[in-house]
Amino acid sequence: ARGAPLPPGPKPLPIIGNLRDKPASHEWLTYSEWKRQYGPIVYVRMLHEDVIIINEHKLALEILEKNSTVYADRPPGQTMIDMIGWTNGVAFSPHGDRHRQYRKLLAGRLSPTATKQSFELQQSTAKSLLRELLDHPEDFQERIRDTLGNSLVTLTFGENILPRDFNYIERADDAHGKFSLAGTPYAFAVDFVPFLKYIPSWFPGMKWKRDAEAWRAELLELVRVPYELVKAKMAQGTAGPSYVAKCLETMGELTAKTESTIMWTAASLYTGGSDTTATSLTTFFLVMILFPDVQAKAQEEIDRVVGTDRLPTHDDRASLPYINALVKELLRWRQVTPLGITHCAREDKIVEGYFIPKGASVIANIWEMLHDENIYKDPFSFKPERFLGPDAEPDYGNLPFGFGRRICPGMHLADASLFVYTATILASFNIGKPKDKEGNFIEQDVEYSTGIVSVPGPFSCTIKPRSPTALANIMRD
Ligand code: HEM
């Protein structure tokens, strides 16, 4: 398929290619610079890895959606990730028969219609969150993470399924930390010298392999134990509703393969949904202190449409256009996964006159696409109004959730839960800038981390019930 040129990009050096151009962190910012220098599609070579960076939404749709099967794979990735077993998980599985099975099962349970079955859980999660925020406003970031995390565990396995000594959240977060470590490029000798993985782990200097084996066992336990517990409760007829219970009900006869499909997709709900949703909701608090007029308008809409005697629910969604626009703007302003997850080309292809080689890593700079000045006026200010009225700016569709065969399967759940969490909080609290002893507002520089999920550092805000009626609503039940 050659005959067309590779996309333009910074000049590579012999052997190492563009390794020295690789940004140390927050890569999306450098990639955006490259858009201005080289255009919307850029090619770089990292050692022997071909990397294509797409910086424009229209082009990303053209490449990743129109040729969704060609770009459905993930890059082979780090040896350590594979040794620990993460390539069995949904997000890092190669796109073959197994990944198709994963997606089919997830699609059945996370479709817009199926998602409605979790509305009640989301509403009760929103209420628990109100109580947590009332009692521990200074810890709001941690409380958000915990409350939303617990809700995902309940959604996946059911209420009170896990014994006290099996702290799912702690174990999962620990496994995610080890995943990040294992995924750090060239952090382990085996990334340079793959045959090291065949040397026995008792050999001197092989601690990394003993680590890999221990981490593999931990991950397997995290994936298997809760599943087995639900299965046992199902057999006794005592399991409550959950993702796993529903899968077991509908899967028919169980084989090792179908069980593995249920287990790994179940694990992907917390892995994919926890940091992302919690980070978006944390950013919502930042927005509230930085853009007080947005908070006032949102509260005005809720008071007018829902009233003050009760909390908003999913049923109110269609009559709350400003809140809907706010959620849309929240996912644009600080998209939480700025580069999505890297896709990989399964075959050579010429797209838009450029050659994209088989095996190339394909990165979509979602951050740049959502801040494109040609589409969004004043892209760094937070304006829900941009999505409202006759002069509305274009709707970005599913862009924050990625592309093609790999698009986020949890997007409807994420969207619905963010709606009900933000609406419930807006109905109940005023969120404000903290003040110092002299009563002056404290300005804070909030930095977002680098990584697959870009997480805000700590910041503070005041969280106070809006009125005695609001307080009564929080305290009810
Ligand atoms: C604000 C919330 C969320 C955002 C912004 C988000 C974003 C994304 C993005 C950009 C991808 C990569 C898509 C691609 O490769 O093109 C992804 C994948 C994924 N997400 Fe989400 N996500 C969110 C919430 C969730 C939730 C709530 C769940 C599950 C309950 C979830 C589960 C997953 C899974 C399993 C994958 C891997 C899909 C695959 O590789 O086939 N995500 N997400």
- What is the distance between the terminal CA atoms of the chain, rounded to a whole angstrom? 65
- Probe target for ligand 1 pocket from 408, 412, 413, 452, with the most ligand atoms within 8 Å of CB: 408
Rounded Cα distance between 310 and 476, Å, is 10
pLDDT score for 425: 98
Q: Atom 34 (ligand 1): residue with closest C-alpha?
A: 272
Pick the closest to residue 376 from 389, 400, 392 (CA basis).
Answer: 392
Q: Does residue 365 form part of some domain?
A: yes
Pick the closest to residue 365 from 43, 57, 8, 24 (CA basis).
Answer: 57
Q: Does residue 49 form part of some domain?
A: yes
pLDDT in tens, the chain (477 residues): 568 999 999 999 999 999 899 888 999 999 999 999 999 999 999 988 999 999 999 999 999 999 999 999 999 877 888 889 999 999 999 999 999 999 999 999 999 999 999 999 999 999 999 999 999 999 999 999 999 999 999 999 999 899 999 999 999 999 998 888 877 766 677 777 777 788 888 887 778 889 889 999 999 999 999 999 999 999 999 999 999 999 999 988 899 999 999 999 999 999 999 999 999 999 999 999 999 999 999 999 999 999 999 999 999 999 999 999 999 999 999 989 999 999 999 999 999 899 999 999 999 999 999 999 999 999 999 999 999 999 999 999 999 999 999 999 999 999 999 999 999 999 999 999 999 999 999 999 999 998 899 999 999 999 999 999 999 999 987
pLDDT score for 124: 96
Rounded Cα distance between 24 and 390, Å, is 43
User: How are beta strands 49-54 and 361-364 bridged, if at all?
Assistant: parallel
Q: Does residue 159 form part of some domain?
A: no
Residue the block writes with tokens 């959240």:
169
Q: Does residue 205 form part of some domain?
A: no
Give buried/exposed letters for 71-96 (b at 16+ CB in 10 A, else e).
bbbbbebbbbbbbbbbbbbbbbbbbe
Question: How many Å lie between the centroid of ligand 1 and the Cα of residue 19?
Answer: 28
Which tokens go with 49?
Answer: 């890895």
Q: Is the pTM of this model over 0.90?
A: yes
Q: Atom 40 (ligand 1): residue with closest C-alpha?
A: 91
Rounded Cα distance between 112 and 90, Å, is 20
Q: What angle do CA 182, 185, 188 make, to 5 degrees?
A: 55
| Pocket lined around ligand 1, Cβ cut-off 6 Å | 90-91, 103, 268-269, 272-273, 276-277, 280, 336-337, 340-341, 343, 400-403, 406-410, 413-414
pLDDT score for 2: 66
Q: Does residue 235 form part of some domain?
A: no
Q: Does residue 407 form part of some domain?
A: no
CB neighbourhood size of 353 (10 A): 9
Q: Does residue 451 form part of some domain?
A: no
Q: Atom 16 (ligand 1): residue with closest C-alpha?
A: 402
pLDDT score for 101: 97
Rounded Cα distance between 95 and 93, Å, is 6
Question: How many Å lie between the centroid of ligand 1 and the Cα of residue 414?
Answer: 9
Among left, alpha and beta (phi > 0; psi -120 to 50; other), residue 303 is alpha
Q: What is the CATH number of the domain that holds 64?
A: 3.30.43.20
In contact, 355 and 1? CB cutoff 8 Å? yes
Question: How many Å lie between the centroid of ligand 1 and the Cα of residue 307?
Answer: 34
Question: How many Å lie between the centroid of ligand 1 and the Cα of residue 469?
Answer: 38
Rounded Cα distance between 223 and 228, Å, is 9
Residue by residue, what is the 3-state secondary structure of the chain?
A: CCCCCCCCCCCCECCCECHHHCCCCCHHHHHHHHHHHHCCEEEEEECCEEEEEECCHHHHHHHHHCCCCCCCECCCCCHHHHHHCHHHCCCCCCCCHHHHHHHHHHHHHHCHHHHHHHHHHHHHHHHHHHHHHHHCHHHHHHHHHHHHHHHHHHHHHCCCCCCCCCCHHHHHHHHHHHHHHHHCCCCCHHHHCHHHHHCCCCCCCCHHHHHHHHHHHHHHHHHHHHHHHHHHHHHHCCCCCCHHHHHHHHCCCCCHHHHHHHHHHHHHHHHHHHHHHHHHHHHHHHHHHHCHHHHHHHHHHHHHHCCCCCCCCHHHHHHCHHHHHHHHHHHHHCCCCCCCCCEECCCCEEECCEEECCCCEEEECHHHHHCCCCCCCCCCCCCHHHHCCCCCCCCCCCHHHCCHHHCCCCHHHHHHHHHHHHHHHHHHEEEECCECCCCCECCCCCCECCCCCCCECCCCCEEEECCHHHHHHHHCC
Q: Does residue 41 form part of some domain?
A: yes
Residue the block writes with tokens 């944390």:
282
Residue ranges making up the domain that contains 22: 1-88+341-370
pLDDT score for 186: 64
Question: How many Å lie between the centroid of ligand 1 and the Cα of residue 272?
Answer: 5
423 φ/ψ angles, rounded to the nearest 5 degrees: -60, -40
